[in-house]
């Protein structure tokens, strides 16, 4: 099913390389070389929407052993502007993150955040959520913006649609394919890997068709878009299987916007290499701690004098240092430090899970790891087909 016979060397520049170093069923452990370092996959990418992972310094991210950080083209295009970021030396330099970075294309945000959007064959016109001004993104301008930002991995501009409405999904998918080619044609920088995005909603035939069309274009890596947006978990996991059967195995696979512990586990089992999600930092700002045995609302009065850390197994700075009682106090007292400490903990949970999944692949017992972890999370496994 591969349209590329080489196992590494995913592009012509030699700057990018993807090597599968261990396999367990459909799951893979890889080494994805980028101009800013090697990603050990599976990897979870914290999201730094506005060129900052909210409430966290780059030094704290380093301490978490984070590697890949995602930032949002839509937000940076609007503020402070991609040309300004370019004049400041690019995104790595601007936000002082010197490890690999990924920018999305703006497609998803245009459809989820802006009002009054109008899609035409060449792009999308929309109203800025910041100042109400009219803006436009096209495959060509999205690439131009992402070249100005300068992330290592950039994404094709795609149209996201309600995953259940077949005629719209089909139309959006076909446009996404034409735009993917437009992105490839527009790309000028050699030091960025452009990933194609598979769409197709919850329809197997469309997902398969999209995976074939995108695979055929020769992208160095592929993403699965349009999931985790309203479909059931079973539908999402099934779609991943359908797509990954088509996508070339020797190139990295990125499941966009997905980041619960259970989705990382089920995704890795189905051959996903890269994940990103705002969930850990967003939940942190809403007082929720993610653990491998479920979420804790840290404002809960039962924690008022609880001297345990959030998670006795966890090795993050927050759990090594502070009690639940203190964290609850910070939340009740509306102290900013609560968001910082919970963000550190939640990010650690997902970063460590990705590392543990990688280790389980090396050791060849991923199924047992997954069964045990899902049982602890108290979530039924969704068996692979």
Task: Write out the catalytic residue numbers.
Answer: 104, 276
339 touches a copy of itself by CB under 8 A? yes
CB of residue 135 to a copy of itself, shortest distance in Å: 17
Residue 198: how many other CB atoms lie within 10 Å: 33
Is 329 one of the binding residues for a copy of itself (CB under 8 A)? yes
Binder to a copy of itself among 336, 371, 376, 380 (CB under 8 A)?
336
Q: Does 168 bind a copy of itself (CB under 8 A)?
A: no
The mark string for 58-77 relative to a copy of itself (x by CB under 8 A, - otherwise) is xx---------------x--
Q: Is 216 in the site for a copy of itself (CB under 8 A)?
A: no
Q: Does 278 bind a copy of itself (CB under 8 A)?
A: no
Pick the closer one to a copy of itself by CB: 49 or 297: 49
Q: Is 118 in the site for a copy of itself (CB under 8 A)?
A: no
307 counts as binding a copy of itself under rule CB under 8 A? yes
> Judged by CB under 8 A, which stretch of 35-43, 51-59, 140-148, 357-365 contacts a copy of itself?
51-59
- Of residues 254 and 326, the one with the C-beta less far from a copy of itself: 326
288 binds a copy of itself (CB under 8 A): no
Q: Which is nearer to a copy of itself, 95 or 240 (CB)?
A: 95
Query: Which positions touch a copy of itself (CB under 8 A)?
Result: 50-52, 54-59, 75, 79-80, 84, 87-89, 94-96, 304-305, 307, 317, 321-323, 325-326, 329-330, 332-333, 335-337, 339-341
């Amino acid at each position: 099913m591969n349209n590329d016979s080489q196992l590494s060397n995913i592009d012509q520049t030699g700057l990018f390389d993807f090597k599968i170093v261990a396999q367990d069923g459909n799951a893979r452990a890889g080494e994805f070389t980028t101009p800013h370092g090697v990603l050990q996959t599976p990897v979870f990418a914290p999201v730094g929407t506005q060129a900052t992972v909210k409430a966290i310094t780059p030094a704290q991210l380093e301490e978490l052993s984070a590697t890949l950080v995602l930032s949002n083209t839509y937000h940076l295009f609007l503020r402070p502007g991609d040309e300004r970021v370019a004049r400041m030396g690019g995104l790595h330099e601007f936000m002082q993150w010197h490890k690999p970075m990924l920018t999305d294309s703006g497609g998803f945000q245009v459809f989820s955040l802006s009002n009054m959007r109008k899609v035409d064959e060449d792009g999308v016109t929309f109203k800025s959520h910041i100042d109400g001004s009219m803006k436009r993104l096209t495959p060509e301008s999205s690439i131009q913006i992402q070249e100005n930002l300068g992330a290592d991995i950039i994404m094709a501009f795609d149209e996201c649609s309600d995953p259940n409405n077949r005629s719209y999904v089909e139309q959006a998918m076909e446009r996404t394919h034409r735009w993917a080619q437009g992105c490839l044609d527009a790309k000028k920088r050699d030091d960025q890997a452009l990933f194609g995005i598979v769409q197709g909603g919850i329809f197997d035939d469309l997902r398969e068709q999209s995976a074939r069309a995108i695979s055929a274009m020769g992208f160095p890596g592929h993403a699965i878009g349009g999931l985790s947006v309203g479909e059931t978990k079973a539908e999402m996991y099934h779609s991943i299987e359908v797509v990954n059967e088509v996508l070339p195995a020797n190139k990295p696979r990125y499941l966009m916007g997905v980041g619960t512990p259970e989705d990382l586990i089920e995704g890795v089992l189905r051959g996903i290499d890269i994940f990103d999600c705002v969930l850990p930092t967003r939940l942190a700002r809403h007082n929720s701690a993610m653990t491998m045995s479920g979420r804790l609302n840290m404002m809960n009065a039962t924690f008022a004098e609880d001297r345990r850390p959030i998670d006795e197994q966890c090795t993050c700075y927050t759990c090594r240092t502070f009690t639940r009682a203190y964290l609850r106090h910070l939340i009740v007292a509306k102290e900013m430090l609560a968001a910082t400490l919970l963000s550190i903990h939640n990010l650690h949970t997902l970063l460590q899970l990705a590392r543990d999944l990688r280790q389980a692949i090396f050791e060849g017992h991923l199924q047992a790891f997954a069964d045990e972890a899902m049982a602890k999370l108290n979530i039924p496994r969704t068996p692979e087909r």
